[in-house]
Chain A
Amino acid sequence: MDGDGEGQSRWCLSQVKGAVDDDVAEADIISAVEFNHSGELLATGDRGGRIVIFQQEQESKSLPQCRAEYNVYSTFQSHEPEFDYLKSLEIEEKINKIRWLPQKNAAHFLLSTNDKTIKLWKISERDKRPEGYNLKEEDGRFRHPSSLTTLRVPVFQPMDLMVEASPRRVYANAHTYHINSISVNSDNETYLSADDLRINLWHLDFTDRSFNIVDIKPVNMEELTEVITASEFHPLQCNTFVYGSSKGSVRLCDMRASALCDQHSKLFEEPEDPSTRSFFSEIISSISDVKFSHSGRYMMTRDYLTLKIWDLHMESRPVETYQVHGYLRSKLCSLYENDCIFDKFECCWRSDDSEVMTGSYNNFFRMFNRDAQQDVTLEASWENGSPGCPLKPWRVCTGSRRKRNEIGVDCLDFSRKILYTSWHPQDNVVALATVNNLYIFQEKPN
Chain B
Amino acid sequence: MLGKGLKRKLEQEEENGVMKMSCPQEASPACYWLQRQTVLNLSLLKLHSRPGHTEPGLARWVLITNTLRRIQDVPAPQFFPSGVETHSEGSLTPVSGLEEDRHLFLCLSPSISRQQPPSSSVIKDSFTSALAEIEDLCPTVGITTLFSTEMGRSLTSDPNSDESRHTDPDLSEMDSSMDSASSLSDSAQSLFGHTPPLLADFSLDDFLLTEIDSLLFDNVPCGSSLSGSSGASKVISMVTDDLVKTLAGYGNGGISQSALPSNQTFKLDLNELDHIMEVLVGS
Binding site for B on A (CB under 8 A): 84, 87-92, 115, 176-178, 180, 196-197, 217, 220-227, 229, 246, 277-283, 286, 330-334, 336-337, 339, 342
Contacts and interface: CB of A to CB of B under 8 A. Distances in A.
A330 B21 contact: yes
B63 A90 contact: no
A221 B42 contact: no
Given A176-B179, A330-B22, A224 B62 contact: yes
Contacts of B65: 225
B180 to A, nearest CB: 8
B70 A342 contact: no
Closest 8 CB pairs of A and B: A333-B21, A222-B187, A330-B22, A221-B182, A196-B58, A90-B53, A221-B184, A87-B177
B183 interface: yes
Interface in B41-70: 42, 46, 53-55, 57-60, 62-63, 65-67, 69-70
B197 to A, nearest CB: 20
Interface of B is mostly: helix
Given A279-B35, A279-B67, A220 B110 contact: yes
Given A87-B176, A115-B54, 13 more contacts: A90-B53, A90-B54, A177-B179, A220-B110, A221-B184, A221-B187, A223-B110, A246-B59, A279-B36, A279-B71, A280-B67, A336-B42, A337-B42
A282 B70 contact: yes
A281 B58 CA distance: 19
B88 to A, nearest CB: 32
B186 interface: yes
B46, B58, B70, B176: residue with the most chain A Cβ atoms closer than 10 Å: B58
B57 A333 contact: no
B138 interface: no
Contacts, number: 102
Nearest to A87: B177
A87, A88, A217: residue with the most chain B Cβ atoms closer than 10 Å: A87
Q: How large is the interface on B (under 10, 10 to 19, 20 to 34, 35 or more residues)?
A: 35 or more
A221 B36 contact: no
Given A246-B62, A333-B35, A115 B55 contact: yes
Given A222-B186, A336-B39, A227 B21 contact: no
A222 B190 CA distance: 8
A220 B71 CA distance: 23
A92 B21 contact: no
B21 A220 contact: no
Given A89-B177, A220-B110, A225 B66 contact: yes
B39 A89 contact: no
Nearest to B178: A221
Given A176-B179, A221-B178, A330-B21, A282 B54 contact: no
B25 interface: yes
B58 A278 contact: no
